[in-house]
Amino acid sequence: MCGIWALFGSDECLSVQCLSAMKIAHRGPDAFRFENVNGFTNCCFGFHRLAVVDQLYGMQPIRVKKFPYLWLCYNGEIYNFKQLQKQFGFEYQTLVDGEVILHLYNRGGIEQTASMLDGVFAFILLDTANRKVFLARDTYGVRPLFKVLTDDGFLGVCSEAKGLINLKHSTSLSSKVEPFLPGHYEVLDLKPSGKVASVELVKFHSYKDEPLHAACDTVEALPSGFDLETVKSNIRILFENAVRKRLMAHRRIGCLLSGGLDSSLVAAVLLKLMKEMNITYPLQTFAIGMENSPDLLAARKVAAHIGSEHHEVIFNSEEGIQAIEDVIFSLETYDITTVRASIGMYLVSKYIRKKTDSVVIFSGEGSDELTQGYIYFHKAPSPEEAAEESERLLKELYLFDVLRADRTTAAHGLELRVPFLDHRFTSYYLSLPAELRVPKNGIEKYLLRQSFEDSNLLPKEILWRPKEAFSDGIASVKKSWFSILQDYIDQQVDDLLLEKASEKYPFNPPRTKESYYYRQIFEKHYSGRSNWLPHYWMPRWVKATDPSARTLKHYKSAAQE
List, as residue ranges, the binding site for L-glutamine: 97
b/e per residue, 235-269, with b = 16+ CB within 10 A? bbbbbbbbbbbbbbeebbbbbbbbbbbbbbbbbbb
Residues in the chain, how many?
561
Q: Amino acid identity of 412?
A: H
Dist CA 428 CA 243 (whole Å): 16
Binding positions are 97, 256, 288, 363-364
CA 76 to chain centre: 11
First to last CA, the chain: 42
CB 326 within 8 A of CB 346: yes
CA 308/CA 283 separation, integer angstroms: 5
Q: Give counts: helices (H), strands (E), the chain.
A: 21, 17
Amino acid identity for residue 402 in this structure: V
Residues flagged as binding site for ATP: 256, 288, 363-364
CA distances from 24 to 205, 273, 524 (A): 28, 33, 18
Q: Which amino acid is located at 524 in the chain?
A: K
d(CA 397, CA 135): 20
Q: Is 158 a catalytic residue?
A: no
Beta strand extents in 280-337 (DSSP E only) = 284-289, 309-314
Sheet holding 3-8, edge to edge: 31-37, 40-49, 3-8, 155-158, 146-149, 178-179
- Report whether 7 contacts 43 (CB < 8 A): yes
Q: Which amino acid is at 334?
A: Y
Yes or no: say if 307 and 456 are a contact pair by the CB < 8 Å rule. Answer: no
Catalytic residues: 2
